[in-house]
Amino acid sequence: MNALAFVPLLLAVLLGLRSLRITQQGNSVLVERLGSFSRTLTPGINVVVPFLEKEVSRQSLKERVLDVPPQPCITKDNVAISVDAVIYWQLVDHFKSYYAVLNMEAALVNLVLTQLRSEVGLMDLDQTFSARQAINDRLLRELDAATDPWGIKVTRVELRELLPSPGVTAAMEKQMTAERRKRATILDSEGEQEAAINVARGRAEALVLEAEAQSRAVVIDAEARAQEQKLLAEARGQAAATLAEVLQKHPTAAEALRLLLAKDWMTMGEQLAQAKAGSVLMVDPQSPGSLLAALRDLQHQD
């Protein structure tokens, strides 16, 4: 009898343990009562009425990654390419995701493939490679809006690979090779042009420098000759003044002077006539007086 008395107590304990549900943080649990939705269990310890309430779905609220397999797509210029993508999504409304769609992941994959084919079909092949980020952004907006009734949020879309067919790949490689050759030819011609310009510029600068050097040499030579003629003129003036003073002090020296002048007159006349900055004395060698007057005039002019 005592053992039978503990049977109801044991059953009550078992039912109590059966009615307890522990929900971990970051998870969501849906509970139905007699076939209809009752409530969503919160993280922690929850009580479920045995035989009347039933746990029908347990899902994680963490962000998930969905790998979309490669799919054939046709671009705007009728080029066949293979495209695959990665979708990052998160469950935000467990009730909608459970009761609005039967197989949420399969529906999401099909939706991504449909939108992906549609976006690729609006672009040329070259645009699909250069506008990958733009395709990602448009897919994100469209998928997020389309999956809102399902209680999920698409947080990120990334195109992983865009693979053209082997024939298109070979044609692209030939085009890239031709483009590289074209760029190399252009660079070579630009280099030759730049080298020719530099050579011509160097020659022009050398000619300018040579002309400037010659001009400076001419100026310096002219200045030197002018200085030489000036010094010669000053020396001749001083010599003439000295000779005039001697003739004034010693009148008897006129006869000796006349003899000297008669001897060197022709040589001196030629030298004076050929001198650029000199002066020519037009006097009578037989008249010392006229020579003395000419020397005085020469002294006053200097």
Least confident span in 104-113, 158-167, 215-224, 267-276 = 267-276
CA distances (Å), origin 44, targets 23, 25, 262 = 5, 7, 146
Least confident span in 55-69, 116-130, 141-155, 271-285 = 271-285
Q: Are 111 and 187 in contact (CB under 8 A)?
A: no
| Predicted confidence band of residue 273 (pLDDT cuts 50, 70, 90) | low
Domain locations in the chain as residue ranges: 2-60, 63-164, 232-301
Q: Which of 64, 236, 224, 221 is nearest to 153 (CA)?
A: 64
User: Chain-centre distance of CA 233, in angstroms?
Assistant: 71
- pLDDT of 272 higher than 60: no
| Predicted confidence band of residue 10 (pLDDT cuts 50, 70, 90) | low
Mean pLDDT of all residues belonging to the chain: 78
- pLDDT of 62 higher than 80: yes
Q: Which residues pair with 21 in a beta bridge?
A: 46
Q: Which CATH superfamily is domain 63-164 in?
A: Band 7 domain (3.30.479.30)
What pTM was computed for the model?
0.52
- pLDDT of 30 higher than 80: yes
Burial 111-121 (b: 16+ CB within 10 A, else e): bbbebbeebbe
For 192-221, what is the mean pLDDT?
A: 85
Give the separation between CA 228 and CA 215, rounded to whole angstroms. Answer: 20
